Structure 1
Amino acid sequence: MKQHIFPAVRLTILTLVFFSGIYTLVILGVAKVFPNHGKGEIMERNGKRYYANIGQSFTDDKYFNSRPSAVGYNAAGSGGSNKGPSNEEYLGVVQARIDTFLMHNPGVQKSQIPVELVTASASGLDPDISAKAALVQVTRIAKIRNVPAQKLELLVNENTQKPLLGLFGPEKVNVLALNLALDNLK
């Protein structure tokens, strides 16, 4: 028995020291080399600081809506709802989001609503939406802000981030950056 317990205890102590200390310090050191020194992507506008890599709630009709959050955009409690597509409660929540979106965007058909505008991400903090999800909201915002739709479409295109090296990942739009650019539009 001793021949099994002592090696297991040594291995446990070794992995605890490695992953709690050495690995953590290495990751911290690597983060310090990158921009913002591992403190996230911070944007400043009009004296306010925003974290561009954390999803935020935009529900006012004059702004582009964010992706819904299962955790109320609380970065301390990241997580999804863990409810599957056969869960009646989840289906009710998604249908309510669809109905709300259609009410605020009267010219849009149900089939035109991108899925990310009515479903929460796994983390509940996704800061990005697809260009399609942004473009489907242009008519509403153009009407409210009295801005030509073409100008807003151009703004969306200017704020669309292309896939890494043109291959990895989808095109995406950071909702915070897009809404800050929208507020600066003349």
Structure 2
Amino acid sequence: MKNFLISIKLTLVLIVLCAFLFPILIAMISKLAPGGGKGETVMAHGRVVGYARIGQKFTEDKFFWGRPSAVDYNASGSAGSNKGPTNPDYLKTVQGRIDSFLVHNPGIKKEEIPSEMVTASGSGLDPDISPASAYVQVKRVATVRGIPADKVKQLVEAHIDRPLFGMLGPSKVNVLRLNVALDEIGSKK
């Protein structure tokens, strides 16, 4: 009976800590984050066009494309495909993405396509791509928009987020912010 009462007390203490105090603490900390815990929004022309930390689907040639999504960019159902690297369905999907990328980016060789441009992430909602993935798309975007490739490349370079302290994490480019900036220079032509 003594152990039973101790376990009941411990359970009640853990319920209060884990179900009430911890969520309140996290909610208070989130208020310090960009967006006040409601997500960091990206604005264009005075309206919200998306969230900085949730990938969006860009398929038009005039935009930079993000990493493919196994959940079709559905933020309510974040997930990967759960198919292994030797799964025939997965390999067929990746080959289809490679073929599509090559059609939309003439002059690019298969070996030049960064793997992240044809493989989905674990979350399916990656908002960022590597600088290499952005650079490989510069020619297509510049050609479609009628903007000099050097100017588009400079825009990519201006949107590279460098690693924290120069060493913690990879360099990355936020696709939504890059496309919003691209639309802004496109409208100034």
TM class, shorter-chain normalised? over 0.9
Deviations 1:152-179 (A, max 9, x none): 1000000000001111010000000000
1:32 positional shift: 1.2
1:9 positional shift: 3.9
2:26 corresponding residue in structure 1: 27
2:41 corresponding residue in structure 1: 42
1:96 corresponding residue in structure 2: 96
Deviations 1:8-36 (A, max 9, x none): 44333332221111011111111112332
- Secondary structure of 1:119's partner? coil
1:65 corresponding residue in structure 2: 65
Deviations 1:108-145 (A, max 9, x none): 01111011111111111100000100000011111111
2:11 corresponding residue in structure 1: 12
1:177 corresponding residue in structure 2: 177
Query: Using the alignment, how far apart are the partners of 1:167 and 1:119 within structure 2?
Result: 25
1:119 maps to 2:103: no
1:85 corresponding residue in structure 2: 85
Unaligned runs of 5+ in 2: none
Q: TM-score, with normalisation over the residues of structure 1?
A: 0.94
Deviations 1:77-125 (A, max 9, x none): 1111111101111111111101100111111011110111111111111
Q: TM-score, with normalisation over the residues of structure 2?
A: 0.93
Count of residues paired in the alignment: 185
Q: Residues 3, 80 of structure 1: CA spacing in aligned structure 2 closer, same or farther, 3 A cutoff?
A: farther
1:66 positional shift: 1.0
Unaligned runs of 5+ in 1: none
Q: Residues 154, 21 of structure 1: CA spacing in aligned structure 2 closer, same or farther, 3 A cutoff?
A: same
1:55 positional shift: 0.3
1:3 positional shift: 5.0
Amino acid at match of 1:48: R
Percent identity at matched positions? 51
Amino acid at match of 1:29: M
Give the superposed CA RMSD: 1.3
Query: Using the alignment, how far apart are the partners of 2:13 and 2:162 within structure 1?
Result: 43
1:37 positional shift: 1.1
Query: Using the alignment, how far apart are the partners of 1:17 and 1:98 within structure 2?
Result: 51
Query: Using the alignment, how far apart are the partners of 1:86 and 1:4 within structure 2?
Result: 52
1:70 positional shift: 0.8
1:5 positional shift: 4.4
1:6 positional shift: 4.2
Query: Using the alignment, how far apart are the partners of 2:115 and 2:3 within structure 1?
Result: 52
